[in-house]
Amino acid sequence: MADRVPSFSLAHQGIDTGAELHWNLTTAPLIEHAVQRGEGLLAKDGPLVVATGKHTGRSANDKFTVRDAETENTIWWGSNKGMTPDHFQALKADFLTELKTKPTLFVQDLFGGSQPEHRVRVRVINEFAWHNLFIRTLLVRPDEAELAGFEPEYTIIDLPSFQADPERHGTRSETVVAVNFSEKLILIGGTRYAGEMKKSVFGVLNYLLPVKGVMPMHCSANIGPNGDTAVFFGLSGTGKTTLSADASRTLIGDDEHGWSDTAVFNFEGGCYAKMIRLSPEAEPEIYATTKRFGTVLENVVMDPVTRELDLDDATLAENSRGAYPIDFIPNASDNNLGPVPKNVIMLTADAYGVLPPIAKLTPDQAMYHFLSGYTAKVAGTEIGVTEPSATFSTCFGAPFMPRHPSIYGNLLKERIAKGGVDCWLVNTGWTGGKFGTGKRMPIKATRALLNAALDGSLNNAEFRTDPNFGFKVPVAVPGVDSSILDPRSTWADKDAYDATARKLVQQFIDNFAQFEAHVDESVRQSAPKAA
């Protein structure tokens, strides 16, 4: 029998179902189930291709945390939405009723966190085989001995066919991600976007680890040839996954890490890369994963006859994704960790085209930008939309950060203060104008600038001070066209640049008002000032 059934059953957890249970299946049998059940199709070179329908990204506005004695004073209700215990109990009852009606369920016992002293045991119960494969791929897989005695701490029940009822469950729509820290139970319904599961586990670690002196981070991480670790913070689409996969550096992970007193370690065992317009030249390591059995491709368009992929086709989603185990990247770390960082990079995709492609930050400026968590993307994909919209998501991950931003911010501050950490802001967004007139920063240029920062050579460059943001910007970098280093010079219309910069500066200032009381004067002084 392919199942690996732990001694701690669902009945132990008070979960009663007549469903046929598939326990801890490995990749191949899960793919067989997914295909037999009509959940997806195999692509020409082996990946499983699935579509999620309406939800092709996270439903951040449908995420709730149960507000009770455990969470009242530990969760920051400024950005986390509360759910009453009564609404959660109604939701849970309805989830358990629905579980009873399912003929088949897939269960995985996994770790959130690669390091034994800082991990959480998670049981995930899925309606879909492909979701079970996804979460097995993304989290850390226990070995046989760990599995036999596995007792879950947190449980996720993921029922995409469940439809929440705003009246009965206090939700906003039929979609719900409800986190109960007292019961250690997470209920996900009304969405098939797989990323909800892994980001829910991230939220749990972000709740648990600060108390243990570990800084949890929404970042990618890799290690250079001299053993120098770099972490890359950034909101979705800013380049964490893309830029951390680099032939010259060892990959620790692409999305979620912890910074302890001694190391940076991955929370996950897999990666989740954007597939849209993936270029084999610019992203060869990630591209290669689209040719392998074991990769799950979400909302990637495929010819039903030839089973050829079309990575350029955004018909199903702009946010098409590929999930693969981390060892599909050739130069991935085999122990999931590295030394404490030498460099901290903050990525932003500035669709206003105002920020320079790279800037050196002082520790105070780093704190300012970490709490701000800025990126600006284009509003949508509709024809005629040319105006970018600014997003400020604190700690570069507000939807996943249960506690007050100052908790994470102070952990960063302490770590940077220990010395030896260089901080950089990198704009992977627009150059030569804002979205509509300019173009996206070439990946090659970003990589060249990053390499100069990470190998230390950029520290010796000549710098100017940005008149709006006050940070230091290199004037010339070997191998990079100097004209892109000064964003204003790339705009045909300098007045338009100045006006756009003024607008952005004001947005930073308005957003930071909420943090002023929580930071030192020196951090407040790091705010941008319109030139």
- Selected catalytic residue, list 67, 123, 192, 240: 240
195 binds, among ligand PEP, Mn ion, ligand ADP, none (CB under 5 to 8 A by kind): ligand PEP
- Give the SS3 label for residue 170: coil
Distances (CA, A) of 57 to 137, 342, 396: 18, 33, 17
Which residue lies nearer to ligand PEP by CB, 24 or 132?
132
Which residue lies nearer to ligand ADP by CB, 242 or 260?
242
Q: Which of 195, 341, 373, 388 binds ligand PEP (CB under 6 A)?
A: 195
Kindly identify the residues of this chain, within the stretch 252-271, that bind ligand PEP according to CB under 6 A.
Answer: 255
In angstroms, give the least distance from the CB of 238 to Mn ion.
Answer: 9
Question: x-or-dash pattern for ligand ADP, window 216-255, by CB under 6 A?
Answer: ------------------x-xxxxxxxx------------
Which residue stretch of 83-91, 252-260, 375-383, 470-478 sits at the interface with Mn ion (rule: CB under 5 A)?
252-260
Is 199 among the residues known to form the active site? yes
The C-alpha atoms of residue 395 and residue 409 are separated, in whole angstroms, by 7
Of 290, 288, 235, 237, nearest to 440 by C-alpha is: 237
With CB atoms as reference, the residue minimizing the distance to ligand ADP is: 239
Is 218 among the residues known to form the active site? yes
Is 393 among the residues known to form the active site? no
Q: Over the Cα atoms of the chain, what is R_g?
A: 23
Distances (CA, A) of 86 to 66, 170, 189, 445: 9, 9, 18, 53
The C-alpha atoms of residue 359 and residue 346 are separated, in whole angstroms, by 10
Kindly identify the residues of this chain, within the stretch 399-428, that bind ligand ADP according to CB under 6 A.
Answer: 428
- Give the SS3 label for residue 515: helix
In angstroms, give the least distance from the CB of 236 to ligand PEP.
Answer: 3
The verdict on whether residue 516 carries a ligand-binding annotation is no
Is residue 356 within 8 Å of residue 506, measured between CB atoms?
no
The verdict on whether residue 52 carries a ligand-binding annotation is no
Number of residues that bind ligand PEP (CB under 6 A): 9
In angstroms, give the least distance from the CB of 51 to ligand ADP.
Answer: 19
The verdict on whether residue 237 carries a ligand-binding annotation is yes
Which residue lies nearer to Mn ion by CB, 240 or 472?
240
Which residue stretch of 233-241, 283-291, 448-456, 498-506 sits at the interface with ligand PEP (rule: CB under 6 A)?
233-241
- Selected catalytic residue, list 22, 58, 342, 434: 58
Distances (CA, A) of 349 to 72, 278, 427, 434: 35, 17, 5, 11
- Give the SS3 label for residue 298: strand
In the structure encoding, which two tokens stand for residue 273, read together? 């890369």
- Give the SS3 label for residue 58: coil
Q: How many other CB atoms sit within 10 Å of the CB of residue 168?
A: 12
In the structure encoding, which two tokens stand for residue 500, read together? 């756009």
In angstroms, give the least distance from the CB of 443 to ligand PEP.
Answer: 16
Kindly identify the residues of this chain, within the stretch 235-254, that bind ligand PEP according to CB under 6 A.
Answer: 236-237, 240-241
- Selected catalytic residue, list 236, 320, 372, 394: 236
Distances (CA, A) of 83 to 28, 177, 430, 457: 39, 11, 39, 51
Which residue lies nearer to ligand PEP by CB, 90 or 314?
314
Of 63, 62, 34, nearest to 48 by C-alpha is: 34
Of 156, 131, 126, 106, nearest to 51 by C-alpha is: 131
DSSP 332: B
Kindly identify the residues of this chain, within the stretch 253-292, that bind Mn ion according to CB under 5 A.
Answer: 255
The length of the chain in residues reads 531
The verdict on whether residue 283 carries a ligand-binding annotation is yes
The C-alpha atoms of residue 45 and residue 170 are separated, in whole angstroms, by 45
Give the annotated binding-site residues for ATP: 199, 218, 234-242, 283, 321, 446
Q: State the binding site for substrate.
A: 58, 193, 199, 321
Q: Which residues bind ligand PEP (CB under 6 A)?
A: 58, 195, 199, 236-237, 240-241, 255, 272
Q: Which residues bind Mn ion (CB under 5 A)?
A: 240-241, 255
**Residues tagged in the binding site annotation for Mn(2+):** 199, 218, 255
Residues belonging to the active site: 58, 199, 218, 236, 240-241, 255, 321
